[in-house]
Structure 1
Amino acid sequence: MFRTALRNVLAHKARLLMTTLAVLLGVAFVSGTLVFTNTISDAYQKSSEKGFSGVDVAITPHSDSDDNTGKPGEAPRLGQRVLDRAAQVPGAASATGTVSGYTALSKKNGDLLGSGFSNLGGNYYPGKDGKDPRYTLTDGRAPKAAGEVALDAKSAGRGHYAVGDTIRVSVDGPVRKEKVVGVFTTDDGNVAAGGSLALFDTPTAQRLFAKPGQFDEIDVKAAAGTSQTALKSAIDKVLPKEAEAETGQKLADDQAEQIKASMSGMQTGMLVFAGIALFVGIFIIANTFTMLVAQRTRELALLRAVGATRRQVTRSVLIEATVVGIIAGVTGLAAGVGIGAGLRSLLNSTGATVPDGPLVVDANTVLLSMAVGIVVTVLAAWLPGRRAAKIPPVAAMNSVHAPPSTRGLVVRNTIGAILAAGGIALVLAGAGMGTDGKGLMGTGAAVLVIGVFVLTPLLSRPLIAAAAPVLRLFGMPGKLARQNAVRNPRRTAATASALMVGLTLITGMTVIAGSVQKGIDKMATDALKSDYVVSMGGFDGQRPLSPDVARTIGKMPEVTAYSPLRQSASRIDGDSEFLTGVDGKSITDLVNVDFAQGSFAGLSGNKAVVDDKMAKSHGWKLGSSIPVTYEDGRRGTLTVQGIYTGNEMIRGIMLDSGTLTPHMSTVTDMQVMVKTKGGPSEEAKDALKKALGENPAIQVQNKQDISDGIAKFFTLMLNMLYGLLGMAVLVAVLGVINTLAMSVFERSQEIGMLRAIGLDRRGIKRMVRLESLVISLFGGVLGLGLGVFFGWAAGEMIANGMPTYELVLPWGRMAVFLLLAALVGVLAALWPARRAAKLNMLAAIKAE
């Protein structure tokens, strides 16, 4: 039986090749995902380990405000006294004080240099030998005074800067012109990943990022013969309560875990799409083995007649599946390694440079790839093998084995209806629960898809019958195509379901993305009266902005109203809350929010306005008093003068900046809202940019810019999803080709008879193509319908947190998706149609 199974595998090379390819693609994506994420994670971990190589113990600020007695906000920075104590501890060879913050560098053409989320600046802290062990100078010298800066070698190369050049720098808004006095190399992982690093002398860095004499961290190097643990114990004895120490090894391990955790999200997301491709592949594999077994009915019956048991017949089919799975696993693993390498190169080409390192193909990746390939294939082949073994030998030998009984179809349709109804109920229940219903909705979606798959044979007849008027236009080939499509509903269902799954996800994602974007557009339009919002650029647009920016804007003749938004930590009712300071006189002209009670009018002194959700959670009403502990530890009382409807752009507690600013240790703004004469225009925007020094680190955005900025994120995510889901559609194409090819093989006699009674080769090709087109469009219609339903349900859940959410049906894109489904059908039929047309009519009529 084993030899028979192997012989059968080799006897159907072309058919099994497409089955192997379907499994191979899924396995390749699984292994490629694991190789890519493991490689990136390993590269960053090794880079971070290098960054801690010169740190035996790190001292950082520590907040002791857990009992609500300390000051709100971040812990105070470390002073020179802590540094001196650490340097004098027995076993300490040296102590280095570090301070860092956001620093944007400008290219010579005025653009931002380096990745926006990792533009950093720091201090060069020379030791007794005049060198900082963290950085190796390759050209020039270290910065020694204000107006001097050293650049990392990669940034200097990308920006074409050399020692002696002048570079434009921005830390918190205003442009500074610095002289490049040195170029250095570093093991900093941010630099290795495409970021930039600029070094200043310590007093300058403290003035820019902290306060004179303050440090963010103190790194201590152990003397020879002193362990990290022993050094930490000695340092703990001299530290004040507002500081804590940790070994360099512990910090490296913690950072490695953080990197691993951050990569796991990406890995999980990519594996989900790999799973979708494998799920689609299951339909193809099951379809393939069902048809292969059907073609070998007499052969299997003969084996039964000469003594083979049912178990042996089933086992022979499973052996074939195992061989296919092994081949797919091995080739998929090899392809996955290539995909992993390609993804890393693609990531590098986008500017997000990854630290150098080898491709990581560990044992878990190999084992999982092989297991996925074998298990998926064997599971998909088990039911066809079991079904074949149940056919009585005599019936099979005489080709009288009965098709599925009416009772079997009734049972299948009943189960499908129950699953579909249950899935719809779960999805609707999850949609009404907000974000708490995500799990319920996901379960319901899976159950509904399975239910529709089970019902697909029942749905195929009426939906395909609806295409009959169009098919009649193609004459006899169109009529035959419709009859062939509904002749075997289960096969048609399995083929169409593969395409349905891919289009369901693509359509659902498109509906959600378009609707969210519409909600964001509406939010930006409804919430802002200001013409422009000025903020620091970068990854999140939430970098601190110097108050000088607002003062500069306020002096411009084009500006009619402006208000900086500044945030400060506070404690209210034992909880940490941020207070937002605004210009109480002009805020009414700059934002547009709906007040349930009160208004912005007269916002000054200890008066404040709060959003409705916060008021409800704390039980505040108009006139309520709010005891507050400010950032500096002083206490006060705010009076609620208004309750408004908050949104993602404007929410929380707002009060006049004149009240909030005296309590802030460092006065910075998050953004500045601006209204100009004549409304938004290119001239006004250019004037703002020019007044702010053509600074690449500052972004001046109107409402459309804000919306487009968010839209870019959704567009990027959607394009990535399209690419990932495109693989599932590719697998579905293979399924259509497979089904048609085997259908042509099964109908060889029929095709020969059609040729004999006058249907020419062109008619045969047209018949096969129309059959493929009908099946693909059937799957496309089901996919679009389910996708719209899931998109609507997910939107109901999103609308609970986004009042401006509005369902948008992308009719244009859905039409494109349907056309793509039709194109899939046309392309998938090319080879089977050509093969059918080439059949010799006499040989086909004689075929068994």
Structure 2
Amino acid sequence: MFRTALRNVLAHKARLLMTVLAVMLGVACVSGTLVFTNTISDALQKSSAKGFDHVDVAIQPEGRLNEGGEAVEQPKLTPELLAKVEKAPGAASAIGVVSGFTALADKDGKLIGGGFQSQGGNYWGDDDPRYPIEDGGRAPRGENEIAIDSKTADRAGYQVGDTIRLSVDGPVLTPTITAIFTTDDGNVAAGGSLALFDTATAQKLFHMEGQYDEIAVRAADGTSQDRLQTAIDKIVPDDTASTTTGQRLADQQAEMIASSMSGLKNGLLVFAGIALFVGMFIIANTFTMLVAQRTKELALLRAVGASRRQVTRSVLVEAFVVGAVAAVVGLAAGVGIGAGMRSLMGVLDATVPAGPLVVSPGTVATALLVGVLITMLAAWLPGRRAAKIPPVAAMGSVHAPATTKSLVVRNTIGALFAGAGIATVLYATTMDGSDGQAPMGFGAVLLIIGVFVLTPLLSRPLVAAGAPVLRVFGVSGKLARQNSVRNPRRTAATASALMIGLTLITGMTVMAGSLQTSINKMAADAIKADYVVSMANGNFLSPDVEKKLASTEGVAATSSLRNAESVIGDETEYLTGVNGSAIRELTDLTIDNGSFKVGGTDVVVDADTAERRGWKAGSSFTAAFEGGERQKLTVAGVYEGNELLRGILLDNATLTERLPATADPADMQVMVKTSAGASDATKDRLEKALGDNPAIRVQDRQDISNEIASMFTLMLNMLYGLLAMAVIVAVLGVINTLAMSVFERSQEIGMLRAIGLDRRGIKRMVRLESLVISLFGGVLGIGLGVFFGWAAGELLAAHMPTYELVLPWARMALFLLLAATVGILAALWPARRAAKLNMLTAIKSE
């Protein structure tokens, strides 16, 4: 039986080719993902470890809590402590580290990097071992000199001697670049920027006069890190700072990198799993057709003594050989994909450190195991079905049709699964947010399985619906319709592969479009302001920003949103300070109770907070502020909150008076209303009023909308690219089914040619059959995708009042066109092969 199975594989090489390709693509996705993520993770870990080459022991401030468990002022790392540490036994040198946000502008005045990745620090002395300076540069000295990293210099076209615009959290500075340095900093590798000042300037800019964020100590030759740490621990007070070895810091960084890469790895593996799942339909279809074509052969084996188990085993041996070959080829392709993805990141400016390609034993074992197991699992059911056919019945008929009982059982099971899936998904939509995610996912799986099982039943009415269109093509159209429903199970398996891919693509498109529209509506409904001004990295704005904007020509009203913490009763409550006289002009909030009056001790409260606290218009409460000041406040009105504005709103004058004299007001953003409305000229005027500061963003509502749109577009394009593999596998499935169907119907095609159907008619018949099957899968996929997109949106609607379902009709039409294109392209080779059959040879074939 083993030799028979091997001979069958060799005898059907061409027919198994598409199966091999389908498995190979899935395995290539899996192995490519593992190679890529392992390679990037290894390179980042080695690069980050280099960053600690000059740190044997790091000293960091130790956070402290008061008796009430609240954080108090952080201890300082002073020059005096640095001097003591330098003299510790086993210490060779020590560096005081200062760092903070620094926004660099390119030559067009635009921010370099991504806000949070725009960092600044100090260059220690005249030769900082952490940052090797390229030839022609020197260490920065004084407030008017700076050093920048080489990647930022390359991206923005800066050279030594150029002047650069920058801002920390105040006015724009224009220092001269005295050095360009190299660094292994992860933020720089990710596309950010790093600027270095001399230590005194860095301390002044980052409000760290006379102190450091960290002290990095180098060990003398022959002194271990643990020994140096023990010596430093005797010097550093326990309540002032904590010490960590450089090796431990490197290990912690490596764990963080591995953890962050695991999310990317799992995400990519999910899409590889989808491609493999789709490939299972092709494998099952292929072996079902091969078994059907060898029914007499298998019956003869049964008649001469082969048991059912041996017949099943012979089919599984064939699957093992096919899976092993596909897995080996897929592993090789996956290594190439991993290398290509790393190169692609460089092309996209997503710089990663250099390093060798990592192909671990685990990757090899996973690829081989996945390829073989998936193939054998998909081939098991056709093999078992073949073994159950009685030898006498099989000897008398090439095709053993499904019995009425088996069809009834199949449709009953499918209906139960689909019904349970729909009920579970609908139940999940009534649950609260995250609680409904797991039931909805489970229901989606049940529904997809149910629809797949019911697909043969659904194929007849849906294909029949296209009969009027097919009649236009005459005899070819009529034959195509009959062929597509002749074997419903085969049609179902072929269409289901495409259905799954389009279900995911459509569902994600519906979700992304609805979310984008809802967030845009939220922004439009919540504010009347023409512009929102904020820091690029999300930090607090200086109060001077609102003052400058308010005095700018053409500005009608401004209001900063100023956050402060307070205690009301026994609970902490955050207050939002606003310009009480202007806030009504800048926002569009619905009042449920009372009036929108903010000024003095009158405040307005969002409905959720009012309900939780039991407040209504006229209620009073006392708020304890950060400095210990207490103030009685009165609720003037209750408004409908949203994602942009919620909580307790009070006048900035009242709020600022109650804050400690040493506390800086925390302005998160400033809303601006202009007399002329939003325009390019108005935006330029506001930016110039703020000194064309690269650290500050001035955005109108369209800018905010575009920013949201770009995030969704990027996400969708990534998902489309990943799901394209599943669609490619589905195309292979259509080609495979049609090619084997042509072989199976050779006699029939020869007879059609003999009675007058020309080659063009044969080609048209096969193409139309492929088109019908693909559109059938497309309609099912788009229908399921819309249902899942609606259901997932219902979960979000509970937390997003502006959420509404938006059906992307244009994109759905495009997806249907994609399904039709898949059908036409997949039929090219099978149709050509069918048309080239010699009619006399075909008629004589069995």
TM-score (norm: length of structure 1): 0.94
Deviation per CA, 1:547-573, whole angstroms, max 9, x where unpaired? 333222122121111122233456667
Q: State the partner residue of 2:150.
A: 153
Which residue of structure 2 aligns with residue 439 of structure 1? 438
Distance 1:534 1:54, change over 3 A: same
Aligned AA (2:513):
G
**Which position in structure 2 is the counterpart of 1:164?**
161
Specify the code of the residue in structure 2 equivalent to 1:202: T
Partner of 1:811: 809
Number of residue pairs matched by the alignment: 838
Secondary structure of residue in 2 paired with 1:669? strand
Q: CA deviation at 1:403?
A: 1.4
| Cα pair 1:499 1:729 within 8 Å, conserved | yes
The one-letter code matched in structure 1 to 2:192 is G
Equivalent-residue separation in structure 1 for 2:614 and 2:79 (angstroms):
45
SS in 2 for 1:97: strand
Relative to structure 2, which stretch is displaced further, 490-499 or 43-52? 43-52
Q: Is 1:141 aligned with 2:138?
A: yes
Superposed, which structure 2 residues align to 1:612-761 within 5 Å? 612-617=607-612, 623-625=619-621, 627-628=623-624, 630=626, 634=628, 636-637=630-631, 639=633, 641=635, 642-661=637-656, 662-663=659-660, 665-761=663-759
Structure 1 match to 2:783? 785
| Cα displacement (A) at 1:307 | 2.7
Alpha-carbon offset, residue 93 of structure 1: 3.2
What is the letter of the counterpart of residue 220 of structure 1? V
Identity %: 67
Counterpart AA for 1:593: L
- Distance across 2 between alignment mates of 1:163 and 1:402: 81
Decide which of 529, 536, 543 is 2:539's aligned counterpart. 543
Moved more, 218-227 or 413-422: 218-227
Distance verdict in 2 for CA 1:285–1:759, change over 3 Å: same
What SS does the aligned partner of 2:173 have? strand
Indicate the residue corresponding to 1:176 in structure 2. Answer: 173
> Which residue of 415, 421, 426 maps to 2:419?
421
Evaluate the alpha carbon distance shift between residue 546 and residue 343 of structure 1 in structure 2; reply closer, same or farther with a 3 A threshold. Answer: farther
Paired amino acid for 2:700: N
Corresponding residue number in structure 2 for 1:502 = 501
Deviates more, 1:338-347 or 1:109-118: 109-118
Matches within 5 A, 1:128-277: 130-138=126-134, 139-172=136-169, 174-237=171-234, 238-239=236-237, 241-277=239-275
Q: Give the stretch that moved more between structures: 486-495 or 428-437.
A: 428-437
Give 1:13 shift: 1.7
* SS of aligned partner of 2:164: strand
Q: Closer, same or farther in 2 for the Cα pair 1:386/1:808, shift >3 Å?
A: same
Q: Residues of 2 paired with 1:561 and 1:20: CA distance?
A: 68
Aligned-residue offset at 1:504 = 0.6
1:435 is displaced (CA, Å) by 2.1
1:449-468 residue pairs with structure 2 within 5 A?
449-468=448-467
Residue number in structure 2 paired with 1:14: 14
1:483 is displaced (CA, Å) by 0.9
Quote how far apart the aligned CAs of 1:298 are. Answer: 1.6
CA distance in 2, matches of 1:94, 1:202: 16
Q: CA–CA distance in 1 between the matches of 2:723 and 2:568?
A: 47
Q: CA deviation at 1:173?
A: 5.4
Name the CA shift for 1:544/1:352 in 2 (closer, same or farther; >3 Å): farther
**CA distance change for structure 1 residues 300 and 615 in 2, over 3 Å: closer, same or farther?**
same
Give the superposition deviation at 1:77: 5.2
Letter paired with 1:266: L
Per the TM alignment, residue 200 of structure 1 is displaced from its structure 2 partner at its CA by 0.8
- Once structures 1 and 2 are overlaid, which stretch shifts more, 571-580 or 184-193? 571-580
Q: Distance in 2 between matches of 1:564 and 1:387?
A: 72
Which shifted more, 231-240 or 301-310? 231-240
| 1:67–1:252 Cα change, 3 Å | farther
Contact 1:174 1:549 in 2 (8 A): no
Amino acid in structure 2 at the alignment position of 1:131: D
**Given the superposition, is the C-alpha separation of residues 206 and 658 from structure 1 closer, same or farther in structure 2, using an over 3 Å criterion?**
farther
Deviation at 1:666, TM superposition (A): 4.3
Q: 1:262 to 1:86 in 2, by over 3 A?
A: same
Task: Give, in whole Å, the separation in 1 of the partners of 2:408 and 2:20.
Answer: 33
| Partners of 2:564 and 2:666 within 8 A in 1 | no
Deviation at 1:95, TM superposition (A): 2.8
Deviations along 1:464-492, whole A, 9 cap, x unmatched? Answer: 11111111111111111111111111001
CA contact 2:292–2:399 (8 Å) conserved in 1: no
* Counterpart AA for 2:535: M
Query: 1:771 is matched with which residue: 766, 769, 772?
Result: 769
Q: 1:429 to 1:640 in 2, by over 3 A?
A: farther
Moved more, 609-618 or 168-177: 609-618
Q: In the alignment, residue 14 of structure 1 is paired with which amino acid? A: A
Which of 279, 282, 292 is the matching residue for 1:294? 292
| 1:799 shift after superposition | 0.8
Q: Which amino acid aligns with 1:286?
A: A
SS, match of residue 385 in structure 1: helix
Residue 26 of structure 2: aligned partner = 26
Superposition map of 1:284-433 within 5 A: 284-399=282-397, 402-433=400-431
Separation in structure 1 between the aligned mates of residue 583 and residue 723 of structure 2, nearest angstrom: 46
- Contact 1:545 1:669 (C-alpha < 8 Å) held by counterparts: yes
Residue 30 of structure 1: CA displacement?
1.0
* Pairing of 1:64-103 with structure 2 (within 5 A): 64-65=64-65, 68-71=68-71, 75=74, 78-103=77-102
Residue 667 (structure 1) shift? 4.3
| Residue 8 to residue 637, structure 1, CA distance change in 2 (3 Å) | farther
C-alpha separation between the residues in 2 aligned to 1:696 and 1:79?
A: 32
Q: Cα gap change, 1:837/1:178 in structure 2, threshold over 3 Å: closer, same or farther?
A: same
Q: Distance in 2 between matches of 1:496 and 1:68?
A: 65
Is 1:532–1:701's contact at 8 Å kept on the other side of the alignment? Answer: yes
- 1:685/1:95 CA distance change after superposition, 3 Å: same
Partner of 2:123: 124
1:91 Cα deviation from its structure 2 partner? 3.7
TM-superposition CA deviations, 1:158-203 (whole Å, max 9, x none): 3332322211112225321011122222222222333211101222
- The 3-state SS of whatever aligns with 2:799 is coil
- Deviation string 1:321-374 (CA, Å, 9 cap, x unpaired) is 111111111111111122112222222222221111122111111111111111
Superposition TM-score, scaled by structure 2 size: 0.95
Classify 1:687/1:373 alpha carbon distance in 2 versus 1 (closer, same or farther; 3 Å). Answer: same
Distance across 2 between alignment mates of 1:576 and 1:151:
43
Deviation at 1:673, TM superposition (A): 1.1
> d(CA) in 1 for partners of 2:531 and 2:123?
38
Q: Do the aligned partners of 1:740 and 1:829 also contact (CA within 8 Å) in 2?
A: yes
Is residue 608–residue 639 contact of structure 1 (8 Å, CA) maintained in 2? yes
Equivalent runs, 1:575-614 vs 2, <5 Å: 578-604=574-600, 608-614=603-609
Segments of structure 1 that go 5 or more residues without pairing to the other structure are none
| Distance change in 2, residues 1:143/1:806 (3 Å) | same
Say if 1:609 and 1:654, in contact at 8 Å, map to a contact too: yes
Root-mean-square deviation over aligned CA pairs: 2.3
Q: Does 1:567 align with 2:563?
A: yes
Aligned to 1:93, the other structure's residue is in SS state: strand
Once the two structures are TM-superposed, the CA of residue 578 in structure 1 deviates from its matched residue by 4.7
Match of 1:827 among 825, 828, 832: 825
Distance in 1, matches of 2:401 and 2:750, equals 24
For 1:179 and 1:330, the matched residues in 2 are separated by: 57
- Aligned partners of 2:654 and 2:222: how far apart in 1? 55
What are the ranges of 5 or more consecutive residues in structure 2 without an aligned counterpart? none
Q: For the structure 1 residues 459 and 204, does the alpha-carbon distance in structure 2 shift closer, same or farther, using more than 3 Å as the test? A: same
Cα shift readout 1:275-312 (whole Å, capped 9, x = no counterpart): 11111111110000100111111222222233322222
